[in-house]
Amino acid sequence: MSNTTPQKKVRKWILFSLGFVVIALSFQLSKKIASSNPPPRRQAEQAAKNVYTLAIKNGSYRVQIPSNGLLEAYKRIKITSRVQGLMETIRPLFKSGQAYSKNQVLVQIASSEFTSNVIAQRASLYNLITSVMPDLQLDFPQAYEIWKTYLTEFDVEKATPSLPEMTEEVRLFISGRGIISSFYALQNLEKSLTFYTIRAPFDGVLVAANVTEGSLIRPGQELGDFIAPDHYELKVALPKSYVDKIEAGAVVDLKSIDTQKEYQGTVSRINAKVNSETQTVEVFIRVNSKELKEGVYMEAMIGALDFTDVVALDRGLLNGNQELFIVEDGKLILKKVEVAHFTDSNAVVRGLEDGTVVVAQPIIGAYQGMEVIATPYTTEK
């Protein structure tokens, strides 16, 4: 019994060892078989990619600065009263949209009381001159005849005529009697009398009326706005870096936002002050047209910079090193260029010869030497 147990143990170790050897031999055999018959590798196909291209043609390029604003009348005045009184009814009525010719009466303010005062002052001057006539006849016979003629032409219902020419002696005599001071005081009243009638300073249209007939007008009160039609001005704000490139008289392309109709204007003035908040400068553009109205929203394209021997390309074609892809012998080549100017969407570049074929649209994953099939780019549909 004791001999049987050791034999069983020896048998187990022999079987275990044989099993391990069989497994090791099987592993080595399978590894040798696998290495002797490798599977064929599939060659990666490098297909050329289709890309849109365009041929370079250098030329001139003008950078236009887009801006916009509201159209305003170039000749515009605020009608303001300098006197007080009731507004009288006249034809045409003082209404918005009413057209007037130059010197036509816009507003008539009741002036009967003030007119009576002026007439009374004329009568006082007439009486004052009459009182010195006997002395003039005795001391200055020649001046007497001149002043006699002056009194004959004097009419208290009409504007006071200018004083006649006088010698120094006569002037001292007349001045001593208070005639000259009375005359100029009367002139001041007559000037004030003209303020009761407000006339159109030029051919134009009343665009705002703040009073109506019968209203009590007070000194300094704004009665309305008067403009000259057909002559307008557009105020735009431009970056100060561009203003040095713009001169008065430069032609500007304008377009109405609502009608899309195009007009031409000229730069009339450039402000000398820079807005400290926006760092922009006001530029004023004159435009004349019977079709336009005040308040129309206009877009202006101002030509600020001119470049020669350049071409404008999509900004997305350039990388951070100012390089872009050109096509040579069916492959992509990186080409260094000089950027003259950037716009919102384009880059104005130099350094490309006429006829050079460049990639027209950005390519994802493009690299130097990439094989491509060039297809001419066209915008036609």
Task: Please name which of 163, 225, 217 lies closest in space to residue 195, comparing C-alpha atoms.
Answer: 217
* pLDDT tens sequence across 109-153: 999 999 999 999 999 999 999 999 999 999 999 999 999 999 999
- pLDDT on residue 4: 58
The single-letter code of the amino acid at 206 is L
Phi-psi region of 85 (alpha: psi -120 to 50; beta: other; left: phi over 0): left
Q: In sequence order, what DSSP letters do the residues of 315-339 get, joined into one string?
A: GGG--TTSEEEEEETTEEEEEE-EE
Integer Cα distance of 369 and 350 in angstroms: 23
Helices (H), 140-227: 141-153, 168-176, 179-194
Query: Judging by DSSP bridges, how do beta strands 357-359 and 372-376 pair with one another?
Result: unpaired
Integer Cα distance of 200 and 211 in angstroms: 17
**Both structure tokens of 56:** 């370079």
Domain range annotation of the chain: 51-62+308-376, 65-72+229-306, 75-110+196-227, 112-194
Residues 6 or more apart whose Cβ sits within 8 Å of residue 176: none
* pLDDT tens sequence across 157-199: 999 999 999 999 999 999 999 999 999 999 999 999 999 999 9
Integer Cα distance of 324 and 315 in angstroms: 10
Q: Domain 65-72+229-306 class?
A: mainly beta
The single-letter code of the amino acid at 344 is D
Q: Considering the chain, what percentage of its residues have pLDDT values greater than 70?
A: 88
Task: Please name which of 285, 273, 101, 60 lies closest in space to residue 202, comparing C-alpha atoms.
Answer: 101
**Most confident of the ranges 63-67, 178-182, 321-325, 356-360:** 178-182
User: Angle 179-194/112-139 helices, nearest 10 degrees?
Assistant: 160
- pLDDT on residue 42: 53
Pick the range with the lowest mean pLDDT from 195-209, 220-234, 298-312: 298-312
* pLDDT tens sequence across 320-350: 888 889 898 888 899 899 988 877 788 889 9
| CA atoms within 13 A of residue 91's CA, in its CB half-sphere | 0
Would you call the peptide bond into 40 cis, given omega within 30 degrees of 0 as the criterion?
Answer: no
The single-letter code of the amino acid at 219 is P
Mean pLDDT, to the nearest integer, of 69-87? 94
Is residue 322 within 8 A of residue 269, CB to CB? The reply is: no
What is the phi/psi pair of residue 338, to 5°? -105, 120
CATH architecture assignment, domain 51-62+308-376: Beta Barrel (2.40)
3.40.50.300, 3.40.50.720, 1.10.1740.10, 2.40.50.100: which CATH number matches 75-110+196-227? 2.40.50.100
